[in-house]
Amino acid sequence: MLRLADVPALRAQVRAWRAAGEGVALVPTMGALHEGHLSLVRQAQASSRRVVVSIFVNPTQFGPNEDFSRYPRVLEADLALLAEIGADAAFLPDVATMYPPGFATTVTVTGLTEVLCGPLRPGHFAGVATVVTKLLLQCLPDRAVFGEKDFQQLQVIRRAARDLDIPVAIEGAPTLREPDGLALSSRNRYLSDEERRVAPAMHAVLQRVAEAVGGGAATAPALAEGRAALEAAGFGPVQYLSVNDAETLAPLERVESPARVLAAAYLGRTRLIDNVAV
C-alpha cells in the first residue's frame, strides 16, 4: 500500500491510475479505524478499482472544549488494517499541508447545519465541509464514501458537493453495529465497562421511536417517552432526540416522507450519536 504525504504525490498517483483506465474512490477518515471504517473501504472497493483512504485528525471541526487533544491517534495500527484489506493508498497530510500559512477560506453550508448538532457545536460543520471539500478537490475521485452514522455530516457533504459542482459522487454506507446494537465509533473506546453496558440503550430507543412514528403518528409523544428512557438508562445530558426529514433535516411533527430518528447524548464524559431510518 502506498503512503502519500502531500497533494502533488496524491494527484500524480490518481493521474496514473486514470491513465490506466482505473476508477478511483476516496474514503476520508480521522483514523482510529475500526470495522465500521473498513466497511466503507470495502464498499468503495466494490465499485472502484483503486481506493484511497485519507487519515487526518482535522482540528477545525473540534470546538475549544472538545476532545481534539485526546482523540485516539494510532497511525501504524490503522495502516496495518488498511494494508490487510487491500486499500491501494493512504493519504496522510499534516496540518500544514491542509491549512498552510495564510489559509483564509471556509466552506459554510447553511440550513442543514442549523439543527441537531449544528447549534451545539459552533463551527463544527464549517470545519467538516472545508476539509472534505479540500480532500475531494485534492484527490478528485470518482466517488467518496461516508458512513450514515454521522447522518447530518453526510447530508452536509452532499449539499456542499452539489452546490460547488464538485464532480464526485457522494455515497452513504450503512452503520455497522455491535451484536447488541451499539453503533461502531472510535469514541466507544472512551466508555467504561459500565457505560459500555448501558450504551446500546440509545439504539433501542431510536428503534422504538421509529416504530412508533412510522405509521404517521405524532412524533412528540414518542420523543418524550424516548428521552425519558435515555435518561433513565443513564444518559445525560440528552442533547437531542428528534425526528427529521431525511433530505432537508427539518424537524417533523408527523412522518409523511423518508425520515430519520437522530439522537445525541452524553454517557459519562463520552458524547454518543446515532440514528435510524423511519
Distance CA 60, CA 76 (A): 24
The reply to whether 148 sits in an annotated binding site is yes
Cell numbers placing 91: 493519504
Residue 153 among known ligand-binding residues: yes
Q: Is 214 annotated as a binding residue?
A: no
Q: Is 35 a known ligand-binding residue?
A: yes
Phi, psi of 228 (to 5 degrees): -60, -40
> How far is residue 115's CA from residue 269's CA, in Å, rounded to a whole number?
23
Question: Is there a binding annotation on residue 134?
Answer: no
Q: If residue 91 lies in a helix (H) or strand (E), which one and from where to where?
A: strand 89-91
- On whether 37 is known to bind a ligand per the annotation, the reply is yes
203 is in an annotated binding site: no
- Distance CA(226)–CA(167), nearest Å, equals 40
Nearest to 246 by CA among 221, 210, 220: 210
Is residue 121 a contact partner of residue 114, using CB atoms and an 8 Å limit? Answer: no
DSSP secondary structure string, 4-62? E-SHHHHHHHHHHHHHTT--EEEEEE-S---HHHHHHHHHHHHH-SEEEEEE---GGGS
Which one of 17, 25, 37, 40 is the catalytic residue?
37
Cβ(269)–Cβ(192) under 8 Å?
Answer: no
- The reply to whether 186 sits in an annotated binding site is yes
Identify whether 203 is a catalytic site residue: no
On whether 149 is known to bind a ligand per the annotation, the reply is yes
Continuous segment of H or E residues that includes residue 243: strand 238-245
34 annotated ligand-binding residue? yes
63 annotated ligand-binding residue: no
Any binding-site annotation on 67?
Answer: no
**Would the annotation count 138 as a binding residue?**
no
Cell of 41: 473501504
3-class SS of residue 131: helix
Q: Which residues are annotated as a binding site for beta-alanine?
A: 61
Q: Which residues are annotated as a binding site for ATP?
A: 30-37, 147-150, 176, 184-187
Active site residues per annotation: 37
Q: Which residues are annotated as a binding site for (R)-pantoate?
A: 61, 153
Q: Which residues are annotated as a binding site?
A: 30-37, 61, 147-150, 153, 176, 184-187
